[in-house]
Amino acid sequence: MNRLTRRTALGAAIAMATGRAVAQNKPLHIVLGVPPGGSADAITRVIAEKMSRSLGRSVVVENKTGAGGIVANMAVKQAAPDGNTLLMTPLANMVAFPHSYSQLAYDPFRDYVAVAHVASFQLALAVGPKVPATTLAEYVALAKQGGYGDFASPAAGSLPHFFGLLFAKAAGIELTHIPYKGGGPAMQALMSGEIAAAVLTLTDLGQLARAGKVHLLASSGASRSPQYPDVPTFKESGYAIEGSGWYALFAPAGTPRDVVDRLAAAAIEAARGDDVKQRFDPIGLEASGLGPAELAAILRADYDKWGPIIRASGFKAN
């Protein structure tokens, strides 16, 4: 390499480093596909606050709603890969949507870089007060006799929808899925006896169970939830299935590795803090704090796991 070539290469390296330094002085935007309020917004703001302290820069939560979160995904896909934009997304947008939409305008592997797995949450199955079952075995026996074979979820195409189908297959029973417009209406239908069973988040159903309004039968995690240690898992109840949801951070494809690593370190530190755990527990979230490689592996495993289930259901999103 001659002197001119070395000087040119050095100049390019300095310019790149200077550009990144300038970029890191700008606010970091964490884009989220739900409106303000609710658990997803709450956890994003907790993580943003902690990351701001760690990074020494402003972190702004930007709520971009629409199309079930697709608007947020597209905004981050199209953002500059300069470390100033992240996507906070649940499992469904990166795992279920690609199998549900025939023409989804983003690819979870091609268009994003895994940054950090922030938190996970369990699902659960509960039955209403009119169903004479207090254990999963009793409910399966009733369903096999041809009774109480309908279950609610918060929406068609949601993770609870597909987990209910996964359970039905494992138990060898016929269950009819009844989608509602959100978890609230589904819980009301369950309590009133309009619907026999429901698959929702463990936190939502657990609160009803503690109030004596429903019977909580099983949770979907690999192990029992710390918040509900008396609730057995599906595995403990004899069905080798599990299916936890999660929230994670992704950056636009092309974001430099050193920038990703810096953002990941801040997010992991935030998620692993004791104060964050205390704020997550009441809303049924288990803080994780896993890095890019671990998140990428989780994304691939869940994508491959849920794909056949979703395709077999015949469900197609509009």
Domain CATH number, residue 174: 3.40.190.10
Are 44 and 100 part of one and the same domain? yes
Per the DSSP assignment, residues forming a β-bridge with 247 are: 90, 119
pTM of the entire structure? 0.85
pLDDT, tens digit (0-9, with 9 covering 90-100), for 184-232:
999 999 999 999 999 999 989 998 999 999 999 999 999 999 889 999 9
237 lies in some domain: no
Predicted confidence at residue 9, as pLDDT, reads 46
Residues 203 and 273 in one domain: no
* Angle at which helices 257-271 and 292-313 cross, to 10°: 80
Residue 30 CB-density burial (10 A; 0-12 exposed, 13-18 middle, 19+ buried): buried
Query: What is the tens place of the pLDDT at every residue in 51-95?
Result: 999 999 999 999 999 988 999 999 999 999 999 999 999 999 999
**What is the predicted pLDDT for the residue at 53?**
95
At 8-45, the pLDDT tens digits run 444 444 444 444 544 557 999 999 998 898 788 989 99
In this structure, what is the dihedral angle of CA atoms 299, 61, 97, 289, given to the nearest 10 degrees?
20
Six-digit token string for 7: 């000087």
Statement to judge: residues 75 and 128 lie in one domain: no
pLDDT band at 277 (very low <50, low <70, confident <90, very high): confident
Cβ–Cβ < 8 Å for 125, 199? yes
Is there a single domain that holds both residue 116 and residue 127? no
Amino acid letter at 55?
L
In this predicted model, what pLDDT tens digit does every residue of 152-181 receive, in sequence order? 999 889 999 999 999 999 999 999 999 998
> pLDDT tens digit string along 88-125?
999 999 999 999 998 999 999 999 999 999 999 999 99
DSSP state letter for 273: -
* 137 and 109 together in one domain: no
Domain that holds residue 133: 123-219
- Alpha-carbon distance of 38 to 61, in angstroms, equals 14
pLDDT at residue number 290: 98
Q: Are residues 150 and 204 in the same domain?
A: yes
